[in-house]
Every structure is written in C-alpha cells, then in structure tokens.
Amino acid sequence: MKNPSAPPASFGLRESLEERFLRCRALSRALVAGLNEADAAVQSMPDASPAKWHLAHTTWFFETFLLRDQVPGYRLFDARWPFLFNSYYEAEGARLARPERGLLTRPTMAEVLAYRAHVEEALLAALPRLLERHADLVELGIQHEQQHQELLLTDIKHLFSRNPLGPAYARAPGRLATAPVGSDPLRWIAGREGLAEIGSTGEGFAFDNELPRHPSWLAPHALANRPVTNGEWAEFIADQGYATASLWLSDGWDWVGREGVAAPLYWRPHRGGGAQREGGEWEHFTLAGWQAVDLHAPVTHISFYEADAFATWAGARLPTEQEWEAAAGGADPLSGNQLDTAGAVAPRGERAGEGFGALFGNVWEWTGSAYRPWPGYRPAAGAVGEYNGKFMSGQFVLKGGSCATPRGHVRASYRNFFHPHQRWQFTGLRLARSL
C-alpha cells in the first residue's frame, strides 16, 4: 500500500514554475469538481467565503498583479469583476464587503471557470517574458492560491456542517490509510537552548513576514512529542474544563459564556449507532459527514482561548513561535498528513517514535506568540505589501500546516495567523513547558 505521508512524484527538484502553476490550478478545479451551483455560491458566515469566490479571487490576483500590471495590451476579462473579487487591497480601490460575498449568484460557476481558463491561457502565453523580471510575482500567485485551497476546504466544511442533512463533501478514506491504531504516550523532548536563528533561511520562497532572519534567545524548555489528541480533549471536557473559570484568560472566559462553547467546533454528543463504540460519547462533522471521533487523532477546530485553557489544565503552556520553529528546523516540510488531491481530508493518528514524528501536517499548532513583525521587517513594495503586514495586530501565530494545506506550501519559518476566537480552520495544539 502506498505511504499516505509520502510526497507525490511531482515534488521534484526539477519541476518548473510553469508546471507548478498548472498543478496548482488543476488542484483548485479538482477541489470543486463535486460541488453544485448552490454549494459553490453560499456563504455560511462572514469569516468564510463561497467556493466560487475563492476560484475567482485567486484568478483576479494573477490577472491584476501580473497580466494587467506587467503585460502591455492586456484587457481585463470583465472590467466589473475587480470590484467583486478584490479581497482587502486598499490600493486596488472599492470592493464588495466581505459578508456580502454570498450574494453573488452571478456570475455563474461556468462563467468563473471560463474566467480562470482565460487568465491561465494569457498568463502561460506571457510566461517566458514574465519569468525574466517577475518570477517572484508568479511564485507569490501560486502560494496565494495554495492558501485559498485550504480556505476553500475549511469553508466548504463549515457550510456543509450547517446543513441539517450533514452532507459529505467526499467519501471517507479507508481506516487503514488514515488512522493507525493507538497513539504514543505524551513525552517531553528538551528543546534547543540559547541563541537560535529564526526566520526564512533564504532558500526557496518566503513571504515577507518570514523576514529577516534574526537571532532569538531560547530559555530552557521542552515540547511534547505530539499534538494533543481527541481522547485527551474529551478528558478535559469531562473534568469540567469549559466550566472552570480559573483555567481561562479573561477574554476567553467571556467568549465561552457569550458563545455557549462546551466542546471543539463540530463536536456533538453521539446520536447512537457505532459512534458510541468508536468515539466514546462524541461524534463530529468531517468532510465525509458525521463520523465518530477518533480518540487517537489530533484534536482540531479549537480556538487560541481553548488551546491556552487546555495547556493550563494540563500544567503546561503553549510553545512560543521561536521554540516551535527551532524544533522544526531539521524536519522535512514535505512529511506528514497534508493535502495532495481532493478528498475527505482529516487529521489522523500518527506514531511519533522516539522524536517529534511529523511536525508538519495534520493540524495547525497554536503558539503563545502574538503575530508581530520580526526585527527589521519591511513589507513588500506596492499593493502586494498589504498581504501580511497590516494584519500584525490582535492575532496569534500558528505553525506547521494541516491536513488541508497543499503539500510543499509550508516550511519551519511559515507564519500563519488568526484571531484568538477563530476555530473553523484545522487548528490544534502541542504542549510546552519551561525547564
């Protein structure tokens, strides 16, 4: 049987930028292949976007910053659409308000796919000239679309979870391929101490927020050998973790009370059948519909507030971003449970062995570090400079990628970031403690 953690053969050192562009665009099409017109148009909450919007927005990015700005004589596919599909770029002018993206019953899915085909054809025709001076922008567009592929999956999951029928996006993979029996006991591994270099190494692509590389001092600490599991989270719930104020940050405790939070997002008490035998008293919504909770898989869809409260309950803390990055510096970012093709992606139990196991994939791991600029940070020039820097307020860093992150997209220095209450992404945690 093929190793599900192994990277596909296409991840070769000789793969050209054009091949990567085509593979990225093909994956986006594959992710929406099973959706109907309504599936692709509905917006389930303001934080999410319709699948159709993701497809058009990533195309707008290529059309705007490469074809419009860098290819003389290029004419926009539809001059009205930049208003519809600009996300947050103030330099690009007025745009549709984010909570109203679900009102776009037009253009149709077929029209959006025609837009994608038009832009792909124009970009491929211009690619030889673009690569001479703007290969960095082509790479940025690919990386940008990969981010939206993960958002696309998490937004579809949230949308389907709101449907009383609990529809499946894709068939659940076989148990042998996704859920090895058992999980390693939690062990502590001493982390690196003293001066460590943090940030992009300069090898390969990096977003501007990963720069510059700089020294950081690490105090004595240890990290858990694996993420926290669903079984351990069920113990936290049973011990009244969501009802014990002393475990929570003040803002987190207010959030729990205001939102009535009593379990990870998508969890509910089982409703009979096989769920009780396999997942104890819990089942949860997955991209394969409602399934028994796998007690050995990493817990996911938890907020920063929940992660911090669990760490306090466990007598530990969240790792700092620098501690996590130092631990992952020698790990293979292509390893672990990451997205290769369309399917019912989900976190799965994995053996860590004597070390950390796969630090990449499965779930994004919350750190205790605020998302702020590295010393000497400078945003990229032009409108693309709005990509990261202006969001460095009120958010926390996550590391490592998830089961929905396209393989090849993340690295040790990668900085994902979300507000502390958000949890519709595949977010989990790994414990740390000071020594």
The secondary structure element, H or E, covering residue 286 is strand 282-286
Last-in-domain residue among 161, 183, 213: 161
In a domain, 4, yes or no: no
For residues 93 and 154, membership in a common domain is answered with yes
Helix 17-31 / helix 109-133 crossing angle, nearest 10 deg: 170
In a domain, 73, yes or no: yes
Structure tokens at 170: 């894709």
Residue 7 pLDDT grade (very low, low, confident, very high; cuts 50, 70, 90)? very low
Q: What is the CATH number of the domain that holds 412?
A: 3.90.1580.10
In a domain, 3, yes or no: no
The per-residue pLDDT for 383 is: 86
Residue 378 pLDDT grade (very low, low, confident, very high; cuts 50, 70, 90)? very high
* CA–CA distance, 21 with 165 (Å, rounded to integer): 37
The per-residue pLDDT for 270 is: 87
Average pLDDT over residues 14-37: 94
pLDDT digits (tens, 9 = 90+) for 277-307: 455 689 999 999 999 999 999 999 999 999 9
For residues 102 and 234, membership in a common domain is answered with no
270 vs 318, more confident: 318
In the predicted structure, residue 351 carries a pLDDT above the cut 90: no
- Percent over 90 (pLDDT), the chain: 85
For residues 309 and 201, membership in a common domain is answered with yes
In a domain, 5, yes or no: no
In a domain, 59, yes or no: yes
* CA–CA distance, 273 with 108 (Å, rounded to integer): 40
* CA–CA distance, 173 with 332 (Å, rounded to integer): 24
Q: What is the CATH number of the domain that holds 132?
A: 1.20.120
Mean per-residue pLDDT over the chain, rounded: 92
Judge whether 292 and 283 are in contact, CB under 8 Å: yes
Tell me which residue range forms the domain holding 199: 175-434
| Helices assigned H by DSSP within 228-367 | 230-238, 250-259, 274-279, 304-313, 321-328
In a domain, 7, yes or no: no
Last-in-domain residue among 127, 161, 195: 161
Residue 174 pLDDT grade (very low, low, confident, very high; cuts 50, 70, 90)? low
Average pLDDT over residues 134-163: 97
